A and B are shown apart, each in its own frame.
Chain A
Amino acid sequence: MKKNIVDKLAKSTPVNIAHNIKGLSDRTLAWLFISPTIFLLLAINIFPLFWTIYLSFTNYKANRPNRVIHWIGTRNYERILGSSDIWGYLQATAHFVVWTMFLQVLIGLILAILINSNFKTSNFWTTIILIPMMLSPAVVGVFWTYLFQPQTGIFSYIVNFFVDVGPLNMIGSVKLAPWAIVIVDTWMWTPYIILLCLAGLRSVPESLYEAAEVDRANSFQKFLYITLPRIMPFIMLALLFRGIENFKMFDMVVELTSGGPGSVTELASISLKRTAFELWKTGYASAFAVILFVTIFGLGSIYVKALNKVKS
């Protein structure tokens, strides 16, 4: 009898559990594998985030660490939201994000369609086109400073070769500087959009096109009703990633224009750096950082919800 019960138990144990008794169990292993990452992220991301939130309610100045810290409630937030400068920085950031996204998707999509015709050596040239997006944005900002020199830089020289506009002071002019940063970012990141659009174009099954041909659709209709909806999720994903990155943009613009002339290209992150690490108004800057994060997070979440709707 005993044997039967033991036998029955043994036979009824699911295979997974039976074998996991040898060696570490799944639960232990899962914990072991994931916890180092969680600890690291808690230490470097979450704890600092809470510290920032705490600081945003104080008047702490990091260059006077021994001064008495006062809790000042929401005064920092009120000052920020009430100050007119902030809207200038957000406007500069918005101009940058909107124009870079628009130009990159426009140029990227067109180029992806062209590359997708699969002419000979297209692979080689795609690799070449890839290069700019792999470079350090800060270093890119530095050398474009050289290219944008009004007299001696080749950008102005080449433009004047086609259109006589006189020496272009891309970086020093209030009107042109916002376009300088758009141009450099587009130079760098259009390849990213090209790649995502290519992935999208290649994901459309040929059978759909053939079925449309049977229904006698012309190429424009095929593009509009088959291609476009299919690559929409890819384009939207690209917009999400690049949009978030450009909202946070710092490296390239700081090296190219330092936020100038004046504060015409002073993006949100640049202003944040100045407040926190030059003026040392740490508490005030922390409040600004929280506002920025909430904005990005909020916009990002809304966008992701919309993206999921489009995908289904």
Chain B
Amino acid sequence: MINNGIKPTNTTKRIAMVIVIFYALVTMIPLVWIAMTSFKSPNDAIAYPPKVFAKPSAEGYINLFTARSRQTKEYLDSLGPPKTWYDKIVRSRNMVITGPSNFMDRYINSILIGFGSTFLSVILGTLAAYGFSRFKVPLKEDLLFFILSTRMMPPIAVAIPIYLMYRKLGLSDTITGMIILYTAVNVSLAIWLLKGFIDEIPREYEDAALVDGYTRLQAFWKIVLPQARSGIAATAIFCLIFSWNEYAFALLLTSGTAQTAPPFIPEIIGEGGLDWPAVAAGTTLFLLPVVVFTIVLKKHLLSGITFGAVRK
């Protein structure tokens, strides 16, 4: 690969490698630090100077998953000995577990809303993209631009009327409502990406199928869809990541039932201030799937990201 027309010498390559690896490692430091913090005790997390090697503690994760209350020593003594290993740790802080925290529910909501909206966006997006790609649609250019311009509204601005609308329709703080909303937001991106992928599939295949007696619908199903598989996968991943990461709508339109993880994590307050290991634990658990996704599905991600620039 020629770079600026210079054929890179081995020395140049080595220098480039050092710089790039340095940048990659520096970029990773914040994430690694957070993961490490999730295994520290609350005191170690605010140690000065910052402690790199601290005695690992599960308190972060325990505090993340449980609701606790502080009790007097007398009350604690009156209870029997702690039954489980996490009971023991909680008791050592003069607290008692009163039940599970809301974290698991929020996490599950994120999963449900994420996959639900992705599923719908991809279906609607594929159909619409095929329609725009293959058929003569009146006002096609205008419709496509209209779809693109829906991405120019700040989410907060859209949230105002949606908030009122959902309040009237009884969709406030419901999983269904959030899925519909995220689908509507994702579908414009989905159409844009998918249309590009489908445009790349030569029409000759479908024309041949039509001549052979297939209906348009059958041609779509049997010929175009299989070819568009990787494009559909790339689009699905992007929609999923967007829904997973979304914060503004979740913050404004949900409170208890349908709240997802992003608005919940900042609210993880511990006893006497911000419980950093618990926040770090929630962060780590929430970001981990995305990190794994990125590494495993890199090819699909790349085809989606550079796609918009390379085509059109």
Contacts and interface: CB of A to CB of B under 8 A. Distances in A.
A137 interface: yes
Interface stretch (B60-68, B84-92, B99-107, B122-130): B122-130
A122 B216 contact: no
Contacts of A248: 153-155
Contact of A152 (B48, B124, B266, B310): B48
B111 interface: no
A70 interface: no
Contacts of A213: 5
Of A44, A49, A222, A286, most B-chain CB atoms within 10 Å: A44
B162 interface: yes
Given A40-B183, A142-B265, A143-B283, A234 B309 contact: yes
B172 to A, nearest CB: 12
Interface in B145-201: 146-147, 149-165, 180-181, 183-185, 187-188, 191
B210 A16 contact: yes
A91 B244 CA distance: 31
A234 B155 CA distance: 26
Contacts of A9: none
B128 A33 contact: yes
A176 B6 CA distance: 41
A222 to B, nearest CB: 4
B70 to A, nearest CB: 24
Contacts, number: 313
B226 interface: no
Nearest to B19: A114
B34 A131 contact: no
B17 A121 contact: yes
A138 B266 contact: yes
Interface in A121-153: 121-122, 125, 127-132, 134-139, 142-144, 146-147, 149, 151-153
Nearest to A121: B17
A34 B131 contact: yes
Contacts of A149: 46
Chain A interface helix/strand/loop/mixed: helix
A273 to B, nearest CB: 5
Interface in B264-294: 265-266, 276, 279-280, 283, 286-287, 290-291, 293-294
A45 B154 contact: no
A30 B17 contact: no
A53 B308 CA distance: 31
B98 interface: no
Given A52-B160, A268-B154, A15 B30 contact: no
B157 A272 contact: yes
A89 interface: no
A130 B301 contact: yes
A250 B155 contact: yes
Nearest to A227: B4
B8 A129 contact: no
Contact of B247 (A48, A251, A286): A251
Interface string A178-198: 000000000100001001101
5 contacts: A37-B191, A128-B28, A129-B23, A223-B5, A248-B154
- Shortest Cβ-Cβ A-B pairs, 7 listed: A23-B215, A289-B157, A48-B161, A136-B245, A44-B184, A138-B247, A222-B5
Given A15-B211, A38-B143, A136-B247, 14 more contacts: A30-B135, A40-B180, A51-B161, A52-B160, A111-B23, A114-B20, A117-B13, A118-B1, A118-B8, A136-B245, A147-B30, A198-B306, A276-B160, A289-B157
